Structure 1
Amino acid sequence: MIFSGNTLRSATTVMAVSLALQAEAKEQLNFAYGYPANSNIGLAVDAYISGIEERSSGEVAVTGYPMTLLSLSESSAGVRDGLADIGYVLTAYFAAEYPTNLYLHELNLLVNLVEKPTGKEPLAFTGAMVEYTTLKCPECLGEFRAQNQVYTAGGVTPTYSLLCKDTKITKVDELKGKRLRAASAGFVRFAEHFGAQGVSLPVNEVYEALDQGIIDCAMLNAPEITNYSLDEVLTDITIGVPGGLYAATAGANINLDRWKSMDDGSREALLWGGSVITAATTWNYYKDDAVAIQKAKDGGASIHQPEPELIAATREFGRKDLEGVATLFAETYNVPRAQEIVDEFTVILAKWMDLVAGVEDVDTLQQLYWDEVFSKLDPATYGQ
């Protein structure tokens, strides 16, 4: 893909400012993320950098490296080995290393079963994910520690739709035989349930895969249309199928050796930054959902609503999949507490649905995440 001159100039400006701050900072860290600088993730990283600089009074400086230092598929090993101090790690790409964290993500179909959806399900799911991971799941933190990393941030996308080229899907039988990009195992199971083929691809390869006919559709959230210029190749979008969302996000994993080398004040600033990037990532995606769909429509894509039979079949798949996923992860992925985890997580998610009901801006969301989760982590001991 080719990015505009404005995008490159923006990235260069941010990097120049960051380098200037680093010259005076006590702690200087680099942040590798496999997304464009002007994407929702890139903007969230900018907020993270600013938030940490302010919180630490300039003592901690972070420089972002978009799509250069580490790719998405290199992020986990790169942070582990110290090639980057901080990385944006998608745990679904590394199932063997993060089975319990992946299991939490696989519970994302719970959002399809909310009886009275408000549209704020992603905000709630993010809160539930970061709370459960940091405060209720020692196995989750242990998996990161085993990879020489400290988990300090999350983030969740809007619900998934079908983003297609030369393919219209509104009925159950129209899924059969289609090649669908799948972000993780749960989406592969969805595809196979309906007689389609799930194709595992990183998000940054979706454009080429659609353009070259490698896949018919991508199961993906709408803001990635803007982030990766998918409106250039899309012809059809089916809203709300397969549903669910992407929650396998460790949005600011820090190299454990680097973390241990810092004092408590610096670590506290990074935890504050974790609440900032968690809120910014989730909010950026949340507010851009409808905007991205409209952009695709303006570019000529047809927007479809699924037929009632497909909606019902999607919900029924979610119910059955959630019933079996605990057994699957207990027996196949060595997550012995799987049933206990889903029981606990469901209660926490319901609590977060109430907590986010009045949230109308990113600052309120960030403060909520800080008060309920990140402020409860002890910088002196967390992650070690």
Structure 2
Amino acid sequence: MAFLNNGLKATGLGLALATGLAFSAQAVTLNMNHQWPATTVGSKVDQWFADEVEKRTDGEVKIKIFWSEGLAKAGEALELLQSGGLDMAAMSPGYFPAQLPLHVAPNSIPMKMESVEQASTLMKRLMEEVPAYAEEAEANGIKALFFHHLNPYLLVSREPITSVDQMDGKKMRTWGNDMPRMVEAVDGTPVTMMLPEIYEGLSRGVVDTAPFAVDLVVNYKIYEVAKHISEITLWEGPSWGVWISSAAWEKLTPEQRTIVEEVSAEAVKRDREAVIAAADEARATLKENGVTFHEFPQAEKDKWRNALPDFFADWIARMDEAGKGDAARQAVAIWKEVIGES
């Protein structure tokens, strides 16, 4: 009997060990490179996302975030996702116009949205109604989990700018293909610059101005080197996405994928509410730190917009050449509905 009991105990121990090994085999840690510091409103949402995924999967899926380009420069993230150097990345599609041209448009076409709600509605509809977006990501070996929001990018500058004529010769931080043309339309000089370079760029006069959201001006302490903000929305749109490589996605069980997608949907709502709330607080902080907000007369806004090229038509033409023209037309039609443009 003692032998039998010992045998049962041994068998039970073996089952327990096997169960533990099976659990361990499902556990995965995903390393995520992040283009922002941990202090931004959206970054805090991403940390909540990571924590919540770990919690709801009972620790089976852990997401370790490396802030402020801790693993790679933002412009290197896509290649590293494809090669396996990264599992996940918080990155703006606007940095990859050649690889993600459909995703780039809402992330970079200037002066075509005004509010966080418009940007949120647009990206939701594009992802749900235009299959080519998911197909484009898949072709690049990645999957978009969700996209962030940003408050409108106003004109932040070292000296007051309240008219189009004052942009003549001014150097402005830009990204992508279309933002530089927005600057050139008013005789300014575009300067391609990554986020971490903006403070030093303004401080040293490499650029005179930069489109930026008021809460990000606080986060990056831009108010120390640029004391003027003009009330003109140069860009508004869906911001960086939280992406996972196709290889990393395949590591997850169906149940884990469902949890990640559920948390992603909740993160979008949490992010939108937090970003909108951050704007008023940031404006108060900036005024306390000596920043002056300037009106940009409607006539001057119209003058700038009238000088712009037809970004929608140009984008569709480029997408026609890439074999994605139909998807671009569908996207523009949705975009115009969202912003009420005929």
Per-residue CA deviations over 1:220-266 (Å, capped at 9, x if unaligned) read: 22221122111211121112242x3142522x211101111221111
For the 8 Å contact 2:42–2:148, the answer to whether it is kept is: no
C-alpha distance in 1 between matches for 2:207 and 2:150: 21
- Corresponding residue for 1:262? 252
SS in 2 for 1:87: strand
Where do residues 153-302 of structure 1 align in structure 2 (5 Å cutoff)? 153-165=146-158, 167-242=159-234, 244-250=235-241, 252-302=242-292
SS in 2 for 1:35: coil
Higher deviation after alignment, 98-107 or 204-213: 98-107
- Corresponding residue for 1:146? 139
SS in 1 for 2:280: helix
C-alpha distance in 2 between matches for 1:125 and 1:282: 10
SS in 1 for 2:290: coil
Cα distance change of structure 1 residues 108 and 193 upon mapping to structure 2, 3 Å threshold? closer
Note the aligned Cα RMSD (angstroms): 2.6
TM normalised by structure 2 equals 0.83
Per-residue CA deviations over 1:336-357 (Å, capped at 9, x if unaligned) read: 122232113434x369xxxxxx
- Pair 1:128-2:122 in alignment: yes
- Corresponding residue for 2:313? 324
- Pair 1:95-2:84 in alignment: no
Q: Letter of the aligned partner of 1:49 in structure 2?
A: A
- Pair 1:46-2:42 in alignment: no
For the 8 Å contact 1:172–1:313, the answer to whether it is kept is: yes
How much does 1:43 deviate? 0.5
C-alpha distance in 2 between matches for 1:186 and 1:58: 43
Q: Letter of the aligned partner of 1:150 in structure 2?
A: K
Identity of matched residues, %: 18
C-alpha distance in 2 between matches for 1:223 and 1:185: 25
Q: Letter of the aligned partner of 1:336 in structure 2?
A: G
How much does 1:107 deviate? 5.4
Cα distance change of structure 1 residues 23 and 171 upon mapping to structure 2, 3 Å threshold? farther
Where do residues 19-98 of structure 1 align in structure 2 (5 Å cutoff)? 26-67=27-68, 68-98=70-100
For the 8 Å contact 1:109–1:322, the answer to whether it is kept is: no
For the 8 Å contact 1:24–1:58, the answer to whether it is kept is: no
Q: Letter of the aligned partner of 1:44 in structure 2?
A: V
C-alpha distance in 2 between matches for 1:304 and 1:334: 44
Cα distance change of structure 1 residues 185 and 284 upon mapping to structure 2, 3 Å threshold? farther
C-alpha distance in 1 between matches for 2:307 and 2:56: 45
Per-residue CA deviations over 1:174-219 (Å, capped at 9, x if unaligned) read: 1111111113333212111111112111111100100010000001
TM normalised by structure 1 equals 0.75
Q: Letter of the aligned partner of 1:211 in structure 2?
A: S
What is the number of residues matched between the two proteins?
316
How much does 1:326 deviate? 4.0
Larger radius of gyration: 2
- Corresponding residue for 1:13? none
